[in-house]
Amino acid sequence: MNPGRALTVLVVVAMLAALLLAALDATTRDRIARNQAQQLMATLQAVLPTDYDNEPHLDRAMIAVPDGPGGADALPVYRARLGDEPAGLVLTAVAPDGYVDAIRLLVGVGADDRVVGVRVIAHTETPGLGDGIDAARSDWILAFAGREAGAADPAWALRRDGGDFDQLSGATVTSRAVLNAVRRTLDYYRMNREALYALPSVDMD
């Protein structure tokens, strides 16, 4: 093959390879986005009451938290509604003081102001110790369900701090960080309940 022809073949092959890579990249990104949306919907379902008729993962507003915990500057809140009436909402909480690093949580509260559930959505706590906050690893996080998000209550502390929450054994720091983040989030909820349901929704990125 003469050098000119070889060069042409090389260029064509390189262009085809680039096109193929671009197509693969787009497909992979689509699939990742779909998986993330599905995972979010499943977690929202776990922390919301069952009775609603909207799509909470799309009824999302952003709460600005300048210099917020763990470096976040805005945190999403998801609203569930039944016939346009509040049915429950899910706040994103960040515990900046995990043993290893910040812990990100979803805190679901029903229209009756009771906690429906709490789930950890991101953490890097130690396997076998702090990672018991993950519902897939232990039932510890289920202890929040059914609690009233009412007036500030000294019971909202670990037993060793005078409250009535058990801690994960060997993971006092992690347990305390999660408990405090949930308590702070519920304080915020109580003060902003109506405004949280009224915030305009913003599209997913």
Ligand X SMILES: Cc1cc2nc3c(=O)[nH]c(=O)nc-3n(C[C@H](O)[C@H](O)[C@H](O)COP(=O)(O)O)c2cc1C
**Binding region for ligand X (CB under 6 A):** 99-100, 125-126, 129-130, 170-174
Task: State which residue has the least CB distance to ligand X.
Answer: 130
Q: Which is nearer to ligand X, 174 or 185 (CB)?
A: 174
Q: What are the beta bridge partners of residue 158? A: 165
The CA distance from 50 to 39, in Å, is 17
Residue with tokens 């999302």: 60
**Using H for helix, E for strand and C for coil, what is the string for 13-50?**
HHHHHHHHHHHHHHHHHHHHHHHHHHHHHHHHHHHCCC
Q: Which is nearer to ligand X, 60 or 123 (CB)?
A: 123
Nearer to ligand X, 46 or 129 (CB): 129
Q: Which tokens in the block code for residue 145?
A: 């369900």
Give the nearest distance from C-beta 189 to ligand X in angstroms.
Answer: 26
Element (H, E) at 77: strand 74-82
CB of 178 to ligand X, least distance (A): 10
In angstroms, give the least distance from the CB of 172 to ligand X.
Answer: 4
Q: How far is the CB of 118 from ligand X (least distance, A)?
A: 17
Nearest to 137 by CA among 146, 145, 128, 149: 128
113 contacts 149 by C-beta, under 8 angstroms: yes
Query: Bridge-partner residues for 26, per DSSP?
Result: none
99 or 197, CB closer to ligand X?
99
Least distance between ligand X and beta carbon 132 (Å): 9
**Which residue's CB is nearer to ligand X, number 86 or number 98?**
98
